[in-house]
Amino acid sequence: MKIHETVAGLRAGVSNAGRVVLVPTMGNLHDGHISLMRQAQDYGDTVLVSIFVNRLQFRPGEDFEKYPRTFAADCERLVAAGVDHLFFPAESEMYPTPQRYFVMPPAELIDILEGEFRPDHFRGVATVVMKLFSITQPQVAVFGKKDYQQMLVLSNMARDLALPVDIVAAETVRAADGLALSSRNGFLSAQERTEAPRLHRLLEGVRQAIQAGERDYARLERAAITELAAHGWVPDYVSVRQRSNLQPPSTGDSELVVLGAARLGTTRLIDNLEI
Ligand code: PAF
């Protein structure tokens, strides 16, 4: 695996690499990321991974400083997964001057759900991903459905700006007990780790109820939130939405997704299930 720390080095390194598939990450790689990389191999000739913890998408007081940086272990995993190139820029390489140009996704998509609790988050995500696309010029980019709203923001960005990149949405990878794999799971204490799969179980309950014909989404959402709170969580939302635009469903809408976010101790977990 070739490691590139500069934009110039990366561009030279992949200039004759055929169809490049980019998997952007912030590192601290787990099996969910590795599954994205294995899927990436099916979409092109060269798999390029980026590792960059993007300050722009964190608000003051969030976990930017303590976000785990595990470069040596990440490299071992990437080599074992057969990744061809790694782009690992320092902050001074990505943002040599303060970033003054931003990608602003539409408010109706980014002021809801995650955006309600993390203002400016998706502006930071869209901006860094646009910049990564500009630097690496991939033909394909792979994002996980675990961050469902992010995946939608980025695929809409590629469509609306006619970017020459195909976006692939990859399925969420889960532990045997259902917990969606996430870098933030590492912050959970042993006791919290035992409790954590409840979020997925409750979303699964909502999905099954809807599949069985229940249409009172608000009641299902309230019941799941109450259950989380009763077990020590601080829920931000559990919400049934349309898959295509994350707006509340109307009667008759069938392509749905249920999304949830809640804090367990100091760790904020998110998850979702398509219905
Ligand atoms: O999902 C992530 O890890 C990040 O939000 C991303 C897409 C790499 C942008 O920093």
Supply the pLDDT for residue 254: 87
Supply the pLDDT for residue 253: 85
Q: Which residues contact 42 (CB under 8 A, 6 or more apart)?
A: none
Distance 215 CA to ligand 1 centre (A): 34
Going by alpha carbons, the residue nearest to atom 8 of ligand 1 is 25
Domains 2-170 and 183-270 share a fold: no
Q: Is 24 in the pocket of ligand 1 (CB under 6 A)?
A: yes
**For residue range 30-82, what is the model confidence (pLDDT) as tens digits?**
999 999 999 999 999 999 999 999 999 999 888 899 999 999 999 999 999 99
Going by alpha carbons, the residue nearest to atom 1 of ligand 1 is 25
Tell me the catalytic residues: 33
Q: Which residue among 23, 25, 57 has the greatest number of ligand 1 atoms within 8 angstroms of its CB, and so is best to mutate?
A: 25
Distance 266 CA to ligand 1 centre (A): 21
Kindly report the CATH number that applies to the domain delimited by 2-170: 3.40.50.620
Supply the pLDDT for residue 194: 98
Contact status, residue 139 vs residue 165, Cβ threshold 8 Å: yes
Supply the pLDDT for residue 61: 87
Percent of the residues in the chain that have a pLDDT greater than 70, as a whole number = 100
Range in 62-66, 100-104, 111-115 with the lowest mean pLDDT: 62-66
Mean local confidence (pLDDT), 109-124: 96
Supply the pLDDT for residue 23: 98
Choose which CATH entry (3.60.21.10, 3.30.1300.10, 3.30.360.10, 3.30.70.870) describes domain 183-270: 3.30.1300.10
Distance 123 CA to ligand 1 centre (A): 12
Sorted by where each begins, the domain ranges of the chain are: 2-170, 183-270
Supply the pLDDT for residue 137: 97
